[in-house]
Chain A
């Protein structure tokens, strides 16, 4: 089904599914919870700071479920942004030589094909878009396409998954209660240093000692969130640092470009983190 052009592969949205097992280490029972929710058609809300593995977890679960039901379950990911409108999700008319033609949006395709629809960073989207997911996320499981005058009933395998990053003490960007109470929530947080070291080792392909040092760096930097650091260093940036180290960049330099410069502009914090890095990496 995939068409190949030069080096990259193109898929139709509903044809894309995860074929190879993504690397994921369960922290607790999230896999079981997800599976049950999938079976029971209960939508899922993934909560947690950036870079804690929410997206990876969805990929993993999509693969896991495909594996279980012996049928590929499409994974349709939509990254939400502040200009994302309802028709971006549902679909729109386009002009072609023969007149106009209706094109289904990613959400409609997921609903029709019975895939997992993953709306990443749902709070970023315009408020009107969050409303169209409402009828899909309760017992009705329907999508109304007003421009076509149609109602689509979701196919069996359809599951709505959204992710959400609760901002630190921020009252303006929050999920509405009416929205959030339609989901079961799975909370993500940074893994323990031991677990994180494992992840780093696997993802970046680095040896144990560097992985441990990086994990320890992550832990130390996260200690600073109470001291003015708005977002802690995610596992993702640590992986980047690991990859750079693997490729021969000096560890201190790698951490500087991948971790420090990314997470803060504050000079004081900046220097403090540098000092921590230089304490951990020779």
Chain B
């Protein structure tokens, strides 16, 4: 050791200190021989004639680094390492220095057995081209970092890549190493994939390497975010390298197009294709942008999945994804031409509301069918009087405009039913054009069946008049459709052309009239005539009947005709038709309708009609018992009759069910003397309807008779009514058990407790210190809900924000008459000068200033957190895809049962969730606006425990904890509104804002244990709340109450009196309505 040291000391450039240090460390582990071997390496380098500076540098590094490397290597490997460095130094000193310097660092992650290979990698790189010394140095220098991010294999691959590139351009290799190093630093996880990609490119696409590499390097950040996409890139390189550049270039273009939000879809499809159908990728990526412009996301997937299914079925799909194949093109066209309800829903809703003057909803027919309450065809339009149900997608025509016209026409027809009162049929109101039969018939009829009369609606009663209800309904449907059409055409002249097209279209698909038996032939003729007045073909013997029938039809086309006229006409037409034998007709003759029979002629037969109906109904039972041959014949014929083919644009018409549901929703239908239908919730009714439908459909799904459904329903209702009354009585005894609380005043003990009086409307006094409000902070949940909501409503959030921002400029205005300001006001100055000359002391307020007038608003949102907000609501958006019904009746029934069993497990949304969504939507916008606002929730149980939760206090700033608290809002106990409002008022009064608001969001009437007098008076709670709101008003606070309780109109009216409130019919619109109302309430 001493020898070595002495021997080397003669070289002045060797740092003796370092040398000794290294020797000390090495001598501890190396035996004498090994140490000498080590020293020999140094000698062999420096003992030459002249030693270059790079060699010197190498030796210096070698000496100082040896100790470091030695620590991580066994003796023999250490010597091997030292020898290799010498070999490298023989090639290039600088290179060896780089090798030595990196060694200890690279050993941290590289296995010792790879150390020599690593050195050789560098050497092979060095030898691959001229001037590769800087490249190899860089390789050694950056190896530790690169290896740390991946493995030795990657180093090998990288060198492989670089050797190939160096053969063409060494400088480019330098770039690559730099770039790979960068990846290892910033995105180490992607290094492996990238390394493989560039390696493959260098193998296969060496010609275009620079171009491709440039593209990838520039967009690496973007691609790094898409791991699956990277994997797909490798697949493309394996199978279709020639397309690689084009595909990637296009993909990057699509990804970086921020304005389109389709990149996720693109990526998904891209990955699907790349896994199996790489050949199609090029066409797909090249055509994606035109696809995107033409199709909605949903449709894009339809188109895409169709392609995949073609592939799966084994057919050739060449050109499908590049929109070249006929199949692909036609589907694309169909998808772009079709009109989707989803897109047009909002417009149509407003359109329907405007036409009818009622708050009609617009929904997909699927939803009605899914309710399973008697509607079956999701391709037809229909309505039950409060909502218009329309087919999900219209693709009848190959032009978008035509499809939309069609949709508009069928919507207008359904609205026509609402606007022109189809479901308002009353048996006792007079018709305009007929001598009324109905009321007298019903009277007779009721007498006979009074013992078990269960009919609820007039419509049901009406159809009970007929023996063959099916025929009667068919007649009624055609007549009513015609009446509505005529009304629509008279009132809405603009739609005439579209209507004409639709009617013509309907005519084209009518069945051959020749093959129809008598009664059906007549029905078909009426339909044809109602679609378009025309020459008809009828056998001679039926001509006079048809003439009468058409005459009835034409009467319905008069401007003054009402639904009652349709009913009267049905009564008359039924008598004519039931007497026509339904047998095949031989010779048809051309016939032209003549409107010659006057109304009087029908009135002549009034008594006949009266008699006809009394006979058929009154003696029905006896007739059946007697079974005379004649009667039997008739019955067989009756069974033979089948309803005419539907007219598509008329939709699915269910007058009985519709009137029933409509009246229930209006709470009009009187049930019996004991109560009314409004005691039942719509859900209950729908459930019962379902059962009724099931009973009928189990036998034969194809042949559901509406009246049977209603009949069943009525019976069920009757039973339930009785049960309900009993239940109600017991419930009163139980739930509202009034225990007199001795009128004791409560005391506030803790700091967060507050006492409030309660108003007793009977005594007209306040009960002193009656309620104890406990103010609590709500716990914190997580942010997920908040984020999800914002994402779900992303477009709307932006919209709300925009609208709220628009409110801002209004607050900037010029303020005049100031003692100091930006500038003098000319008018005022002139005025002052004039005053001076006139000898009056002039005003000193001559300046104006553009000032931001502070919106001085404080608002408290008061949220109902009562248990009832846990009530589930229909989330119609959910999982619609699974809802396509099979056409085959048997399968349909199976599907139906399956659906129903699933139905109960479906996840659902609660009212409280909607309240929360609304708040979240508002939060963002409110923050922009700068209004002071607080969010509070209330619930509780009993007067001594009114819970008042602070979600955000009025003086609290917005922070991420607020959304977390919102997350924790959940249904709790009862609703004692009065004290909550009072407490809220007190809080607001402490703020300094000029305008103060309470925004109350609730789901029903206030109620709580003991929130009543003598236990039963609902008014007590309502009156106390009213009083509390009035108190707030007297303090100058504006209150607004939003409720989602459908039955809210009655008590809200008395509770809010002249205060503003809104009853929201469509619960689902709650989140959107809250910001809207807020804006209306507080803007100028």
Contacts and interface: CB of A to CB of B under 8 A. Distances in A.
Nearest to A213: B493
A80 interface: no
Interface stretch (A60-68, A136-144, A157-165, A274-282): A274-282
B353 A227 contact: yes
Among B834, B1077, B1082, max chain A CB count under 10 A is at B834
B838 A276 contact: no
A83 B815 CA distance: 9
Interface in A60-98: 82-83, 87, 92-95
A279 B843 CA distance: 61
A93 B813 contact: no
Contact of A282 (B347, B412, B497, B1060): B497
B960 interface: no
A277 B408 CA distance: 13
Contact of B355 (A83, A220, A228, A278): A220
Contacts of B814: 83
Contacts of A268: 346-347, 350
Interface string B1046-1074: 00000000000000100000000000000
Nearest to B839: A100
Given A216-B491, A223-B357, A273-B354, A172 B995 contact: yes
Contacts of B997: 171
A173 B810 CA distance: 13
B350 A227 contact: yes
Interface in A30-46: none
B1081 A276 contact: no
A109 B830 CA distance: 22
B359 interface: yes
Given A100-B834, A228-B1076, A271-B347, A220 B497 contact: no
Contact of B494 (A82, A83, A102, A277): A277
B718 interface: no
A223 B408 contact: no
Interface in B804-825: 813-814, 816
A208 to B, nearest CB: 13
A279 B835 contact: no
A60 B353 CA distance: 35
B831 A83 contact: no
Contacts of B354: 220-221, 223-224, 272-273, 276
B829 to A, nearest CB: 12
B834 A94 contact: yes
A92 B832 CA distance: 10
B833 A169 contact: no
A147 interface: yes
Contact of B350 (A94, A272, A278, A280): A272
Given A220-B354, A279-B495, A173 B1084 contact: yes
B1084 A147 contact: no
Contacts of B1084: 170, 172-173
Contacts of A168: 1080
Given A95-B830, A100-B838, A271-B347, A280 B359 contact: no
A180 to B, nearest CB: 14
A29 interface: no
A276 B356 CA distance: 11
A93 B835 contact: yes
A280 B492 contact: yes
B1040 interface: yes
Interface in B701-727: none
A19 B494 CA distance: 41
Interface string A221-241: 101101110100000000000
Nearest to A94: B834
Contacts of B350: 224, 227-228, 268-269, 272-273
Contacts of B351: 272, 275-276, 279
Given A223-B354, A223-B356, A228-B1076, A252 B840 contact: no
B700 interface: no
**Most central of A82, A219, A226, A275 by chain B CB within 10 Å:** A275
A278 B309 CA distance: 42
Nearest to A92: B831
A169 B1060 contact: yes
Interface in A189-234: 213, 216, 219-221, 223-224, 226-228, 230
Given A219-B357, A279-B412, A95 B813 contact: no
A105 B354 CA distance: 46
Nearest to A269: B350
B837 interface: yes
A252 B494 contact: yes
Interface residues of A, number: 42
B1083 interface: yes
Identify the interface centre among B349, B831, B1040: most chain A CB within 10 Å of its CB: B831
A248 interface: no
B837 A278 contact: no
A188 B350 CA distance: 26
B496 interface: yes
Contact of B1080 (A147, A170, A224, A273): A170
B503 to A, nearest CB: 16
B457 interface: no
Nearest to B354: A220
B975 interface: no
B834 A279 contact: no
A99 B1040 CA distance: 58
A227 B349 CA distance: 10
B995 A171 contact: yes
Given A278-B494, A282-B493, A282-B494, A147 B835 contact: yes
Given A169-B1081, A268-B346, A226 B359 contact: yes
Contacts of B1077: 169
Nearest to A172: B1084
A143 B492 CA distance: 56
A119 to B, nearest CB: 20
B864 to A, nearest CB: 20
A100 B496 CA distance: 70
A216 B1082 CA distance: 33
A197 to B, nearest CB: 13
Contact of B495 (A170, A269, A278): A278
Interface string A115-153: 000000000000000000000000000000001000000
Nearest to B830: A95
B1081 A170 contact: yes
B846 to A, nearest CB: 14
A81 to B, nearest CB: 12
Nearest to B1080: A169
A169 B1040 contact: yes
Nearest to A220: B354
A127 to B, nearest CB: 13
A95 B353 CA distance: 60
B551 interface: no
Given A223-B356, A227-B350, A279-B412, A99 B837 contact: yes
A83 B817 CA distance: 11
B658 interface: no
Contacts of A277: 494
A170 B997 CA distance: 11
Contact of A279 (B358, B492, B813, B995): B492
A149 to B, nearest CB: 9
Contact of A280 (B494, B835, B1080, B1081): B494
Interface of A: 82-83, 87, 92-95, 99-100, 102, 147, 168-173, 213, 216, 219-221, 223-224, 226-228, 230, 252, 268-269, 271-273, 275-282
6 contacts: A99-B838, A169-B1060, A172-B1082, A227-B359, A228-B1076, A268-B346
Given A224-B350, A268-B350, 11 more contacts: A94-B834, A170-B1080, A226-B359, A227-B350, A230-B1080, A271-B347, A272-B350, A273-B354, A279-B351, A281-B493, A281-B494
The 6 A-B residue pairs whose C-beta atoms are closest, nearest first, are: A272-B350, A93-B834, A223-B357, A171-B1038, A220-B354, A100-B838
